[in-house]
């Protein structure tokens, strides 16, 4: 089972196929638009992808509607892995 498939939504159910596809799209093609699309996806009942990433890299912030940076795909995978283990 992949790390993404272990992710759970706010009511502790497996995340939707659409969410998994959007996460995979970011991992394959990291961009501000793709990051903006996935940052709010819940991967655990009380944790979004952005919150998980900030536990590893607190430099990923959003101010005035703009991201300071986007995380590397490896950072996103590591963050998801840490939350869903």
Cα distances from 45 to residues 18, 25, 32, 79, in angstroms, run 18, 22, 25, 15
State residue 55's pLDDT score: 93
State residue 62's pLDDT score: 86
pLDDT tens for 7-21 read 776 666 788 999 999
Q: Is residue 8 a contact partner of residue 15, using CB atoms and an 8 Å limit?
A: yes
State residue 31's pLDDT score: 95
State residue 7's pLDDT score: 75
Question: If you search the block for the tokens 């995978």, which residue do you land on?
Answer: 77
Q: Is residue 24 a contact partner of residue 4, using CB atoms and an 8 Å limit?
A: yes
Q: Could you tell me the pTM of the whole model?
A: 0.86
- Residues of the chain short of pLDDT 50, as ranges, are none
State residue 5's pLDDT score: 72
């Amino acid at each position: 089972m992949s790390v993404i498939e272990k992710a759970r939504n706010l009511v502790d159910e497996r995340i939707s196929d659409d969410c998994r596809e959007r996460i995979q799209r970011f991992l394959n093609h990291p961009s501000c638009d793709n990051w903006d699309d996935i940052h709010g996806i819940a991967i655990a009942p009380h944790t979004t992808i952005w919150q998980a990433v900030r536990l590893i890299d607190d430099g990923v912030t959003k101010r005035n509607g703009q991201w300071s940076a986007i995380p590397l795909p490896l950072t996103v995978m590591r963050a998801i892995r840490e939350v869903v283990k």
